[in-house]
């Protein structure tokens, strides 16, 4: 397995990958839109690949105060093999390199099974209310 930054050649495969892993995402989270918007700001999109096939991906963000992980995904066949751990560690290493010292992430309330995975990587549940508005 190799983990690296996204390259333009990954676009179509990454779009298909995220559509497969997140089939019920709302239209505003369409992978083609998310990738385009992210690349307009920076290049913190990371790919885990096995051979020439994408098996995991995530987006990282840093606002100068804290970092975020978004759209973290590992293909069903590669789960529980260390792919997710290595992908998260790679993203965190890249965030640290640009000055980040705290990383946040959100998981869907219905995806409680993944909470134990993140806890095993040192993430803690924080007492926060997540809010958002479409503008």
Strands across the sheet containing 2-5: 2-5, 45-50, 53-62, 67-74, 103-105
pLDDT tens-digit series, residues 74-107: 998 989 999 999 999 999 999 999 999 999 999 8
Q: What is the pTM of this model?
A: 0.91
Average pLDDT for residues 1-25, to the nearest whole number? 95
Q: Is 131 exposed, middle or buried (0-12, 13-18, 19+ CB in 10 A)?
A: exposed
Residue appearing with tokens 């990383």: 103
Sketch out the chain's domains with CATH numbers. Answer: 2-120 (3.40.630.30)
């Amino acid at each position: 397995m190799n983990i690296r930054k996204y390259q333009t050649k990954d676009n179509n495969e990454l779009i298909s990958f995220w559509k497969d892993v997140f089939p019920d995402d709302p239209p505003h989270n369409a992978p083609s839109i998310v990738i385009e918007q992210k690349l307009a700001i920076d290049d913190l999109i990371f790919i885990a690949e096995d051979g020439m096939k994408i098996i995991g991906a995530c987006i990282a963000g840093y606002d100068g105060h804290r970092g975020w992980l978004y759209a973290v995904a590992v293909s069903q066949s590669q789960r529980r093999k260390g792919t997710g751990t290595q992908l998260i560690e790679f993203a965190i290493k890249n965030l640290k390199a640009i000055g980040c010292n705290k990383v946040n992430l959100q998981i869907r309330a219905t995806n409680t099974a993944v909470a134990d995975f993140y806890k095993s990587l040192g993430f803690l549940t924080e007492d926060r209310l997540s809010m958002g508005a479409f503008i």
